[in-house]
Amino acid sequence: MPNQILMLQARQRLSDDHLAVNEVMEQLLTALDNNDVQASYFKLDLLWARLAVHIRAEHLHLFPAVTSRLSEAQVIVESLRADHDFFMRELARAIGILRELIKTITRAGDDLKLAAVGDAVREIEKRLATHNEIEESQIYRWSSTILTEPEQLELLARINAELENRPPRFSEEAWANSL
Ligand SMILES: [Fe+2]
Ligand SMILES: [Fe+2]
């Protein structure tokens, strides 16, 4: 049953998570375009948290599993890590701006600040698209070819546990983005 085996791969789980994170990103951009500060803040916070657990799963479990077998992967992993630092840094900055805006919502110049957040998020979106493509076509693919089947199952279990590490400020529905 090839489909069942495919479903059991860490590669598939993480690729699905890329799509889920993209959906949050699209909703955030819509909220920003609508000048909806509250919804923007909520989606941005969710995006940051979902991306943070995804990145943690890659750092702690996926990347070491691949680089320990394939030293050539090291260079790619280094640049993927630099991308992760960029995403987290820029998202934290955007959250800082929105947090201030929520306190003082009607001040002149707020539109400019929201636009700045939109620009930052679009930059992140662009870099994330390339980043995810590199992961899916290289690191993720390698994880499904160099690891044995039991190793892949173990990796999947670790990644699942990491991705389910929901910060308590989010309800289950909010975390699944199904509100
Ligand atoms: Fe990544
Ligand atoms: Fe990823």
- How close is the Cα of 99 to the center of ligand 2, in Å? 27
Tell me the pLDDT tens digit for each residue of 74-104. 999 999 999 999 999 999 999 999 998 888 7
List the shell of residues around ion ligand 2, using CB closer than 5 Å: 135
Judge whether 104 and 113 are in contact, CB under 8 Å.
Answer: no
- CB contact burial 34-56 (16+ within 10 A = b; e otherwise): eeebeebbbbbbbbbbbbbbbbe
Q: What is the DSSP letter of 143?
A: H
Question: Given the structure tokens 């892949």, which residue do they identify?
Answer: 152
Any idea how long the chain is? 179
Rounded to whole angstroms, the Cα distance separating 17 from 135 reads 12
Quickly state the pLDDT bin for 112 (edges 50, 70, 90). confident
Q: How much is the pTM?
A: 0.92
Rounded to 10 deg, the angle between the 110-134 and 37-57 helix axes is: 30
Judge whether 175 and 73 are in contact, CB under 8 Å.
Answer: no
Q: Give me 3's structure tokens.
A: 């489909």
Quickly state the pLDDT bin for 1 (edges 50, 70, 90). very low
- How close is the Cα of 168 to the center of ligand 1, in Å? 23
Q: With 90 as the cut, is the pLDDT of residue 42 above it?
A: yes
Tell me the pLDDT tens digit for each residue of 121-160. 999 999 999 999 999 999 999 999 999 999 999 999 999 9
Q: How far apart are the first and last CA of the chain?
A: 34
Q: What is the dihedral of CA 118, 121, 126, 130, to 10 degrees?
A: -170
Count other C-beta atoms under 10 Å from residue 79's C-beta: 11
Q: With 70 as the cut, is the pLDDT of residue 2 above it?
A: no
Rounded to whole angstroms, the Cα distance separating 142 from 135 reads 10
- How close is the Cα of 108 to the center of ligand 1, in Å? 37
What is the dihedral sign for C-alpha 163, 168, 170, 172? positive
